[in-house]
Structure 1
Amino acid sequence: MNAHPTHLRPAPPEARIVPPARPLGPVRLIRTVVRNPIEAWPEAIYREPLYRSKFLGRSSLFVMAPPLIRKVLMDEADSFEKSEVLRRSLSPALGDAILTADGARWRWQRRAAAPIFRAERIRSFVPAMIGAAERARDRLAAEAGPEIDVAHAMMRATFDVIVETMLSGHGRIDAAQVEQGITDYLEATSWIFALSLVGAPAWTPYPGRARAERARGYIREELDRLVAEGRRAGTEGRNDLLSLLLAARDPETGQAMDDRDVADNLLTFVAAGHETTALALTWTLYLLSLHPETEAAVLAEIEAATGGQAVTPDHVEALPYTRQVIQEAMRLYPPAPVVVRAALQDLDIDGWRIRAGTPITIPIYAVHRHTAIWEDPDRFDPRRFDPEAVKARDRYAYLPFSAGPRICIGMGFALTEAVAILAVLIRSLRFRLRPGHVPTLKQRITLRPAEGMPMRVEPR
């Protein structure tokens, strides 16, 4: 079967950031960072290999060239640490977990958690992923006709996966309240970016801080409660992530996670895991609604793989083009659109002398649309992820899960989950964007559609 479209017609206008032609002045820069940090990146970041920025005498470096990204994330990874802005944004909620820790503390947690995300373990989670997708399909079918916010629907579907695979089933956590808490917490992070930019201390008040702290307190209490319950129930014979974290040991030292470590990492996987996969699905459905020829190719592949039967775990592994479509959606709309590091020592990057403490930004959204890296970078084309095209491309040109030793530990889980959910939903339902609607991209750690994703859902 050759279901792949042999050519792609010009795409309709699609959501994108229009960068300023020149660097913003100080006042406008602060206002833009508070509103939407990604809009502050100047046009040069989308075409140059490196870009130095200065603000109030403080220097920072943007790195876009794939060989130089490799130097930061892989070759000299030990010369960099997590940036101050990331710590101030996420550590109050996530503690010192895999995402936020550095050095030896990060290494032992990573080693302890790695077996949980091996391919055979992920396969054991696929039935739960399919079950969550089927429940989402049935909910959406019942709501068919009226316009709905597909972004919210995808958040609910991926949180259902989290509950089943990480928390041993329903009824133990208020998914809607946790989802709202995560949104309330992330909404305040643009103020943290702005305050870090001007060197304000971490205690500085800002709008929304009290609401964000209430949200953080609620989520932490819920996770602490779940960990205590899981510890009392024991881990024997259980396959959920909570039990696996409680039982995890560093293979080199035998060190186990205490309840705080487990809660920090569980919250990391709950917050980061469901949010990023939901956004990948939201942007994929958005693009498919604009590109019916690609949607038809995905449907043909799914029907060929399933023979018209219900989706099974074996089918999920037999949908390479469907996976390519998701990968291309994550190129155009990376759920995690930026990586920020700080230099631990004076060093040289391609002849640019960097002082210790200098922030190093890898603007993933801009790298994925960089004119020197991608041909016609704003065009949607899943063929970019044909196996031969991937082999020919620099590994550090595509970074939806970051790269190097700190590459996202849940990458395999997230891609498998996205393929499973999309395969179940799209064969039964048609998603159509509100006519004329162009989503606004908003960075709040993740890359969200600011007004949600208004779509009509219809049965096929």
Structure 2
Amino acid sequence: MDGINQSSKPMGPVVRTSTPKALVSLIRNPLDALPPAIFSEPIVFSKMGGDVKIYIADPALIHEALVKNADALGKGEQVRRALGPALGQGLLTADGAHWKWQRQSAASAFRHDKLLDLQPAMISAAEATRDRWLEMPSGKVDVGHEMMRTTFDIIVETMMSGGHGIDVGKVEKSISDFLGPTGWTFAFSVVGAPEWMPYPGRRKSRSAVTFLRSSLAGVIADRRKSGEDRHDLVSMLLAAVDPETGRTMSDEEIVDNLMTFITAGHETTALGLAWTFDLLARHPECKERVISEIDAVTAGAPLASEHIAKLTYTRQVFSEAMRLYPPAPVITRTAMQDFRLGGFHIPAGTVMYVPIYAVHHHRSIWKNPEAFDPERFTTENTKQRHRYAYMPFGAGPRVCIGSAFAMMEAVAVLSVLLKTFHLSSTTATPPTPVMKVTLRPKQRLLMHVEKRHA
């Protein structure tokens, strides 16, 4: 089939997709464009127009593709068109040697000892949110918005030493304005439409990108002028030197990477937290167990850095929330050269999807996959699963550099807020997940907040 063939094993299901119907799904919610068979089959070939696309859900095949054949794969045109205007050639979008040296330059900021030093800032940001909730006249909050604000405060404080007056509210709105029309950019890239094609939200998205990048450029200019080393990500990127060529990063390249950490870093953790609060509200027995653990570990004292690693069930709850609602629900790769995958010959140019959302809901991988069950993430149960059955932070060499940062941050925020408040749902049915690069609730996630009584 268009160069993809296999002689020794049966081919996976072939899905022939109506182009207009698929485009509507991509624009409204790309999750709906996933072939239904990928929730039960290991691999699915989808033919739309003249192009064949591959969807992989089998953990062993995912490992073979993203790890063993990592050098044969690139991010591809779809990712460039959707994210390139904002993220340039940063860690999330770059390929090859340019990606590799940027990854090496940023890696030291995410060493375990460095992350431990950042925990007080994580706790402080969560406490600021707690104090803000205590002062609210109304007992209802938009948890999605509140978590975006909290995690943005953490990113700015830990990665940019405070950010020097960045307008937090405008930045958050700008990120939403940029991500909002990405369904259109994905859809247009799938059919090869020219990049100048207009679509709803395009002008607002471009304006948002201009504001975001100029705000970060101001931070970098101030830091270069002062010459101060604050031992944060900005200082590390300013001092980074490519070991092979000796070159340093331009201001534009530093903006690319700060944009990547701000949009990908704070957005994904914020969404994971919002989904977690909603799930706990709908599963009171799990919520009470989390609260009991927090109370036992902290023994009535405020949350401190040394408590975070001991909150194992709280961590399991966040992990299970990211299984049901993976913040980055689809990985896209393009074959840069011919290679073999599970016996199939994959020609250069083939677009490959690893639909993490489908993997996390796959009927052959997970027992009762739609159920919320934090016990899936005990140490014993985790050891029994294939490493690539669960990928909230991606997989292979390009696994999210900030995964450990995100887990510490999430446990800190959950613990500070659940120690003080009971949160309950305002709707009987769970919100619908919608993919806008990240996995967002379709409706605002409003929750009742009530102070716990000691």
TM range (shorter): over 0.9
Aligned residue number for residue 158 of structure 1 = 151
Aligned residue number for residue 132 of structure 1 = 125
* 1:51-450 correspondence runs (5 A): 51-143=44-136, 145-169=138-162, 171-236=164-229, 238-250=230-242, 255-450=247-442
- Name the % identity: 49
Following superposition, the deviation at residue 42 of structure 1 comes to 2.4
Following superposition, the deviation at residue 50 of structure 1 comes to 0.3
CA contact (8 A) 1:234 1:243 kept: no
The 2-side partners of 1:426 and 1:232 are apart by 42
CA contact (8 A) 2:76 2:334 kept: yes
Q: Quick one: structure 1 residues 360 and 167, their matched pair in 2 at CA, closer, same or farther if it must change by over 3 Å? A: same
Letter in 2 for 1:328: E
The 2-side partners of 1:41 and 1:164 are apart by 38
Aligned residue number for residue 50 of structure 1 = 43
**Secondary structure in 1 aligned to 2:318?**
helix
Aligned residue number for residue 7 of structure 2 = none
- Across the aligned residues of Structure 1 and Structure 2, the Cα RMSD in angstroms comes to 1.4
The 1-side partners of 2:102 and 2:236 are apart by 13
Aligned residue number for residue 17 of structure 1 = none
CA contact (8 A) 2:324 2:361 kept: yes
Following superposition, the deviation at residue 273 of structure 1 comes to 0.7
CA contact (8 A) 1:166 1:242 kept: yes
Aligned residue number for residue 8 of structure 2 = none
Aligned residue number for residue 5 of structure 2 = none
Q: Quick one: structure 1 residues 317 and 103, their matched pair in 2 at CA, closer, same or farther if it must change by over 3 Å? A: same
CA contact (8 A) 2:73 2:335 kept: yes
Which range moved further: 334-343 or 427-436? Answer: 427-436
The 1-side partners of 2:170 and 2:112 are apart by 32
The 2-side partners of 1:294 and 1:199 are apart by 47
Unaligned residue ranges in structure 2 (runs of 5+): 1-14
The 2-side partners of 1:80 and 1:279 are apart by 28
Unaligned residue ranges in structure 1 (runs of 5+): 1-21
Q: Quick one: structure 1 residues 53 and 144, their matched pair in 2 at CA, closer, same or farther if it must change by over 3 Å? A: farther
Following superposition, the deviation at residue 251 of structure 1 comes to 5.5
Q: Quick one: structure 1 residues 423 and 254, their matched pair in 2 at CA, closer, same or farther if it must change by over 3 Å? A: farther
Deviations 1:406-432 (A, max 9, x none): 110111111110111111001101111
CA contact (8 A) 1:439 1:450 kept: yes
Q: Quick one: structure 1 residues 181 and 205, their matched pair in 2 at CA, closer, same or farther if it must change by over 3 Å? A: same
Letter in 1 for 2:275: W
Aligned residue number for residue 3 of structure 2 = none
Q: Quick one: structure 1 residues 144 and 374, their matched pair in 2 at CA, closer, same or farther if it must change by over 3 Å? A: farther
Q: How many residues align?
A: 438
Aligned residue number for residue 18 of structure 1 = none
Deviations 1:81-106 (A, max 9, x none): 00211111111111111111000000
**Secondary structure in 2 aligned to 1:455?**
strand
Q: Quick one: structure 1 residues 51 and 144, their matched pair in 2 at CA, closer, same or farther if it must change by over 3 Å? A: farther
Aligned residue number for residue 4 of structure 1 = none
**Secondary structure in 2 aligned to 1:201?**
coil
The 2-side partners of 1:358 and 1:248 are apart by 34
Following superposition, the deviation at residue 260 of structure 1 comes to 1.6
Following superposition, the deviation at residue 252 of structure 1 comes to 6.2
CA contact (8 A) 1:439 1:453 kept: yes
The 1-side partners of 2:422 and 2:244 are apart by 50
Q: Quick one: structure 1 residues 170 and 58, their matched pair in 2 at CA, closer, same or farther if it must change by over 3 Å? A: closer
CA contact (8 A) 2:336 2:348 kept: yes
CA contact (8 A) 2:425 2:448 kept: yes
Following superposition, the deviation at residue 355 of structure 1 comes to 1.7
User: What TM-score do the two structures reach when normalised by structure 2?
Assistant: 0.94
Deviations 1:40-69 (A, max 9, x none): 112201000000001111110001100100
Letter in 2 for 1:403: A
